[in-house]
């Protein structure tokens, strides 16, 4: 699995379903993942653990 950071998330989201759809699947607040991709919100370890299964599902 790649390191989770704004650049790798941006690359990933250019290949898969919408950010909003993934936020819903991960049970995240609307807009939170988009802020992480833009580097406007810190990606905490808790968030990484929440995202990891979903990112693996889409071959991150």
Q: For the CA atoms of 29, 47, 49, 21, what is the dihedral angle to 10 degrees?
A: 30
State the pLDDT at residue 13. Answer: 77
pTM of the entire predicted model:
0.65
Task: Report yes or no: 15 and 21 within 8 Å, Cβ to Cβ.
Answer: no
State the pLDDT at residue 31. Answer: 95
User: If pLDDT is split at 50, 70 and 90, which confidence band does 18 have?
Assistant: confident
Q: Which residue has the higher pLDDT, 59 or 38?
A: 38
The per-residue pLDDT for range 32-51, each reduced to its tens digit, is: 999 999 999 999 999 999 99
């Amino acid at each position: 699995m790649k390191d989770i950071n704004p650049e790798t998330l941006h690359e990933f989201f250019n290949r898969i379903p919408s950010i909003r759809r993934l936020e819903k699947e991960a049970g995240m607040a609307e807009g939170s993942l988009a802020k992480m991709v833009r580097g406007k919100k810190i990606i905490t370890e808790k968030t990484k653990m929440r995202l990891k299964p979903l990112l693996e599902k889409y071959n991150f």
